Each structure stands twice: as structure tokens, then as C-alpha cells.
Amino acid sequence: MTASNSSAALLSIQDLSIVLPSSGDRAYAVERLSLDIAENEIVCLVGESGSGKSMTAHAILGLLPPRVTIDAQSRVLLEGTDLTKLDDTAMRRLRGERISMVFQEPMSALNPLQRIGAQVAEALQLHNTAGLSAAAIEERCIAIIDAVGLPQPKQIVRSYPFQLSGGQRQRVMIAMALLNNPRLLLADEPTTALDVTTQRQILDLIQKVQAERKMGVLFITHDFGVVADIADRVVVMRHGRVVEQGTRDEVLRHPQHAYTQALIAAVPGRHARSTPPSGKTAEPLLKIEQLKKTFVSKSGLFSPPRTVVAADGIDLSIQDGETVSVVGESGSGKSTLGRMVMRLIEPDSGTISFAGQPVLGQDAAALRAYRKQVQIIFQDPFASLNPRQKVGDAIARGPMIYGASRTEALKAAAALLDRVGLGASAVNRFPHEFSGGQRQRISIARALALKPRLLIADEAVSALDVSIQSQVLALLAELKAELGLTMMFITHDLRVAAEISNSVVVMQKGRIVERGAPGQLFANPQHAYTRTLLGAMPGLDFFEHRVAA
């Protein structure tokens, strides 16, 4: 994280405008953007979805989708040469050699039918000006794979992408990008699709290689925590324009523009929104004992079936009025836990009791009665609503099934839609007319229509932009206080958990490894995994999370 003191920029973007085809909803993806990247510095380009940050990076390398063009007035200067004026052959010489790029989705960024070694070697073969032999190329590949921290490089070289995890694939991508010692690295949200601990490793890796090779890095992200951790300078974008830029400290500590201020304020975990539990009864509202679930999948005639342990004897109690966050990475079993409580998935063994009554193994009538008291909100706002059902009907169905008349139910639905901030007129519209954040609000209204006591939110804000996320969390906190709800909030983001819960439960590989109040957990983590998770939280040092004990 050295401050840049070179006056000649490595990359200088001047008045970049990216024109969208006329059928789009706006004319420009990016409008008159100017930014510089010096040698040996990390510039973070921050914005929400639709800000044009990704397009900017693609434009530098000439990788824009068909029919999307760069305006003639734009200039992209790499050490003096204007990239927008180069022909295709010259651009190809540059790509992967002077400028490299790493993309967001490691799962799809590698050719599934080709071995890793072949794909990494290709980066060298395409720029083999030194005339290296095949053996020499293979040696360099193994060396670089080792340098990015992958164990057993010789084996990795012979593997296929499907045999590697997401984090490993991203390391391979970085290896491919570094092979020819580029001067500039473009990283388009390289850690967004990764688990938080893996994200930390990849961020560390990028910082390390940047420092070693003194590269310039343009790092695109939506997460200010990441910005706080790695940026030298920050550029904030919104709707295709630059809103603010400056050094990291300048922008983060003294943001000038209202939008930047709002984004920084929306970083989760900075204020406590939790309310103490009402503590009405001593008996827990939800009691889970020794819950077990293993998924078995056949994988061919002669291979042993693959088993995934989603729940390995989970014990959990939630008091009435509490908000409990269940935190874990992918594969921890947190989502499965939520679905088992809803009885969308049946556990293999164990007991669940709600308000003293057993939940599992009950007949249809008891299940119906139970379902009325527990509701769930899902992660994907675009899959959570029936595209062919009006929003009002979707909300009213629940009460109607339990005996309400259609008019009553629709009236109640209208009131709920109003309460969640969408206005009663939304009742007659279809889901596709709403944005992601608005759809989540509709899902919340649907869940509340049955007046449940327990609300399960399964990564309900994870798919939303950070500012929308903040609004929805605020809404949930309000509703919880108003209606006296109990909440089980499932998330992978410790910061979100810190913000809204009274109690945080940490899960790893189907087991609960620690539980405690947020302040306690942060200050004094007991379990090694909790410490790892905390350490991996982006922006931890900078933002100094203060949470109610």
C-alpha cells in the first residue's frame, strides 16, 4: 500500500464514454470518465450495479460486447499509446502481456474441457517472443502456479477445472494473468463470488503480487470494506459517471459527495439495529436438539456416493423476541438448517419444537398450524415470486388458504404493501415490474401476511446492492420491533449479523462452533474458526465496528 509518487501515469483514461445500442434503457454505459492509474498502486473503482465500473475495465482491453462502442472522443493511454486507436492485432499483442484481466466468476472463467496446464500455458504461447520450448513453458507454468499459493502444482497442471474449488480457480486465473509480467492488472470483482475466508486469501495474494512486481492494479468492487483494506486511491462511480475520487483516506474519512457518504454509511455493521429481546417467557420459542442431515448423491456406477454432512447434531434455542444470526460460509449447512425448520427438507434425526410443541413427524393438520406461525424469506429476489401471479394475489394466498375471504385478504395485502414502502397500488402489478430490492419487500409482505411469530431470513439481503441492503435491513428491524417478531437471520456476512442480531451463531461444516452476543464475539472470539472469520472480514481495521454488547 505505497503511495504513488510517479507523475507519469501508467494508464490514463480521458473522457471515456461508452455508447450503448439504441434499444437499451440509457444512452451511455459510462459518460466522460477520467481516471489515472500510476505504476505501483492499487486503484479501487467502486459502485453499485449499473454504475458502469465493469464496462470501464472491459473497454480498456477492448473486450466490450458487440454493438457497444467507445465514443470517438475517448482516449485510453497506456504509457502514451492510445488503446482505442489500435487495430485488432496490436490489441491482441497487448492483452495478457502488458495488461491482464481477472474476472468475477471463477466457476465459469475456465474452459471446462481443457486441462489447467494447457490453459495457463496458452498465456505464454500467445506471447512467446522469447521462443521458449514446450518444456520451458511448462516449467514457468508450474512455477507461477506455485507462486500463487496452490499446493502440488504438478498435479494442478494435469487437473480439469471441475476438480478445483472456486478459490483455487481464481488463483489459477491470477497465475495466468501474471505469467507475462504485465504492467497493469485489471481485476473485475474477483472476490465477489467467493467465500469470505477465501476472499481474504485472494485479496492478500493480489496485494502481495502487486507489491512484488510493482504493478498498477485497477480493482473493481462494490464493497467499501475491501476498498478500506487494499486501496491506495478510490474512484466512486454512479450511473456511468465519476462521483468522487481521491486517496483512500480522503474518500473514506471525508467523503465530499452525498452519494459517497450514503454508500459508506450503508456499509453493514457500523450501527447496531438490534433490539433487546422482549424476554416474555423463559421457555425458548424455537428449540432444536441434535438435528442431523446428510445428503447422499450417487456419482456413477463405480464411484462411492458423495456424502455431504449438512447438519451434524445441531443444538440451538431461540428465545421469543430474539434476533439470532446464523453465520457460515458455503457448505456450512446454514441454509439447510433454515429449510429444516420450515420443514421444506426433512432432517434425518433430531427434534425441533416450537412454543413447546413438537414440529417433526406431525400430521398434515399440525403442519398447517405450524406453518402459519413460521415464515421464510429467500435469497434470490428474482426467483422468489411467481412471475405469473399478481403481487397482491401472491400475498393474499396465504391468509385465504387459512380461511380469510378474498376481499379481506386483498385489503390486508394492500396495507402490507403500503407498510413495506411500495404503496397499496402495487397489488395489481406483476413481479417483473419491480426491482430486486422492491421484490424483497414484496417477499417480506408475503411472509408477514400470515402474522407469524418466527421469521426466517435466508440470506435475504445478500443479493442486493449495498444501499438497498441497508434499507431492507432497516425495514426488517422496524417490523420486528413493531410486530414483536422473533427472527432467525441466515447470512454469510458477519458485519450484517453484527448489525441486527442479539446473538450470533457461527456454523462450520454442519456444526455450531460458537455462539455469543455480537460485541462479545468480536472482542473475544473463542473458537479458531470464529477468529478466522473475523480476521477475514473486509474493512475490519478501518471501520472499527462498534456494536451494542
Partner 1 sequence: MKAVVQSFLRHPSGMLGLVILLAVIVLAVTAPIFFPGDPWDTVAAPFTPPQTDGMLLGSDSLGRDIASGIAHGTRVSLMIGITSTLVALIIGVVVGALSGYVGGRVGEWLMRFTELFQTIPAFMLCILLVAILQPSIRNIVIAIALVSWPQVARLTRGEFLALKEREFVQAARCQGESPLSLIVRYILPNALSPIIVAGSLAIASAILIESALSFMGLGDPNLMSWGFMIGAARTMLRQAWWMSFFPGVAILLTVLAINLVGEGLNDVLNPRISRQ
Partner 2 sequence: MNLQWLKGLGALGVRLGKMVAVILLIAIFNFMLVRAAPGDPALVMAGQSGATDEAFLQRVRAEYGLDQPMPTQLATYLGKVVRLDLGYSHRQQRTVLSAILERLPATLLLTLSAFAISLVGGVVLGSLAGVRAGKLSDTLISLLALVIYATPVFWLGLMLVLLFSVQLGWLPAFGYQTIGVTMGTWAGVVDKLTHLALPAFTLGMLYLAIYARLMRSSIIEVSHQDYVKTARAKGASDGRILWRHMLRNALLPVVTMAGVQAGTLIGGSVVIETVFAWPGLGRLTYDAVLQRDYQVMLGVFLVLSVLVIFFNWLTDLLYRVIDPRIKAA
Do the Cβ atoms of 490 and 462 come closer than 8 Å? no
Interface with partner 1, residue 380, by CB under 8 A = yes
Interface with partner 2, residue 140, by CB under 8 A = no
For residue 300, give the C-alpha cell.
456413477
The interface mask with partner 2, positions 79-98, x = CB under 8 A, is -------------xxxxxx-
The residue within the footprint of partner 2, chosen from 4, 51, 100, 379 (CB under 8 A), is 100
Partner from partner 1, partner 2, none contacting 420, C-beta within 5 to 8 A by type: none
Task: Tell me the angle at which helices 391-401 and 406-419 cross, rounded to the nearest 10 degrees.
Answer: 130
Residues in binding contact with partner 1, number by CB under 8 A: 28
The residue within the footprint of partner 2, chosen from 39, 122, 146, 204 (CB under 8 A), is 122
Give, as ranges, the residues between 417 and 476 that touch partner 2 (CB under 8 A).
none
Kindly state the smallest distance separating residue 326's Cβ from partner 2, in Å: 32
Do the Cβ atoms of 461 and 440 come closer than 8 Å? yes
Interface with partner 1, residue 378, by CB under 8 A = yes
Kindly state the smallest distance separating residue 159's Cβ from partner 2, in Å: 8
Shorter beta-carbon distance to partner 2: residue 282 or 302 = 302
- Alpha-carbon gap, residue 326 to 324, rounded angstroms: 6
Do the Cβ atoms of 464 and 437 come closer than 8 Å? yes
Type of residue found at 41: E
Interface with partner 2, residue 206, by CB under 8 A = no
The residue within the footprint of partner 1, chosen from 156, 285, 450, 466 (CB under 8 A), is 450
For residue 288, report the phi and psi dihedrals to the nearest 5 degrees.
-115, 130
Type of residue found at 219: F
Distance of CA 213 to the CA centre of its chain: 29
- Alpha-carbon gap, residue 208 to 330, rounded angstroms: 26
How far from 511 is each of 327, 336, 380, 423, 503, CA to CA, in Å? 11, 12, 25, 42, 17
Q: What is the DSSP string of 137-153?
A: HHHHHHHHHHHTT-S-H
Kindly state the smallest distance separating residue 360's Cβ from partner 1, in Å: 16
3-state helix/strand/coil string of 439-475: HHHHHHHHHHCCCCCEEEEECCCCCCCHHHHHHHHHH
The residue within the footprint of partner 2, chosen from 39, 63, 292, 511 (CB under 8 A), is 63
Interface with partner 2, residue 290, by CB under 8 A = no
The residue within the footprint of partner 2, chosen from 300, 304, 387, 403 (CB under 8 A), is 300
The interface mask with partner 1, positions 32-71, x = CB under 8 A, is ----------------------------------x-----
Interface with partner 1, residue 108, by CB under 8 A = no
Interface with partner 2, residue 108, by CB under 8 A = yes
The residue within the footprint of partner 2, chosen from 45, 83, 116, 123 (CB under 8 A), is 123
The interface mask with partner 1, positions 427-446, x = CB under 8 A, is ----------------x--x
DSSP helix/strand/coil, 3: coil
- Alpha-carbon gap, residue 106 to 176, rounded angstroms: 13
- Alpha-carbon gap, residue 225 to 464, rounded angstroms: 16
For residue 248, give the C-alpha cell.
483512500
Binding piece for partner 2, criterion CB under 8 A, among 46-54, 160-168, 254-262, 326-334: 160-168
The residue within the footprint of partner 2, chosen from 2, 162, 307, 484 (CB under 8 A), is 162
Partner from partner 2, partner 1, none contacting 457, C-beta within 5 to 8 A by type: none
